[in-house]
Amino acid sequence: MEHDSHTPWEFNGSFYQPSAFLMMGIPGLEALHPWISIPFCALYLAALLGNCAILFIIRRTPSLHEPMYYFLSMLAVTDLGLALCTLPTTLGLFWFDVRSIGFDACLAQMYFIHILSFIESSVLLAMAFDRFIAISHPLRHPAILTKSTVLKIGLAIVLRGMVSLLPIPFLLKRLTYCGKTELSHSFCFHPDIMNLACADIKVNVFYGMIILLSTVGMDFIFIVLSYILIIRTVVSLTTKEECLKALNTCVSHICAVLVFFIPMIALSMIHRFGKNVPPLVNTLVAYTYLIIPPALNPVIYSIKSTHIREALLRALCRKRGSDW
Domains detected in the chain: 32-307 (1.20.1070.10)
Residues 116 and 78 sit within 8 Å (Cβ to Cβ): yes
Find residue 20's DSSP bridge partners: 102
Instruction: Output the pLDDT for position 9.
Output: 47
Instruction: Output the pLDDT for position 313.
Output: 82
**For residue range 303-322, what is the model confidence (pLDDT) as tens digits?**
888 888 888 888 777 766 56
DSSP per-residue string spanning 214-277: IIIIHHHHHHHHHHHHHHHHHHTSSSHHHHHHHHHTTHHHHHHHHHHHHHHHHHHHHHHH-TTS
DSSP-based three-state secondary structure for 201: coil
Instruction: Output the pLDDT for position 212.
Output: 92
> From CA 66, how far away is CA 64, in angstroms rounded?
5
Nearest to 76 by CA among 304, 296, 322: 296
28 sits in the region (left: phi over 0; alpha: psi -120 to 50; else beta) called left
pTM: 0.92
CA distances 257 to 55, 126, 127, 204, 211, Å, are 20, 12, 10, 27, 20
Ranges of residues in the chain with a pLDDT under 70 are 1-15, 238, 319-324
Residues in Cβ contact with 86 at an 8 Å cutoff, skipping those fewer than 6 apart:
109, 113, 186, 187, 290, 291
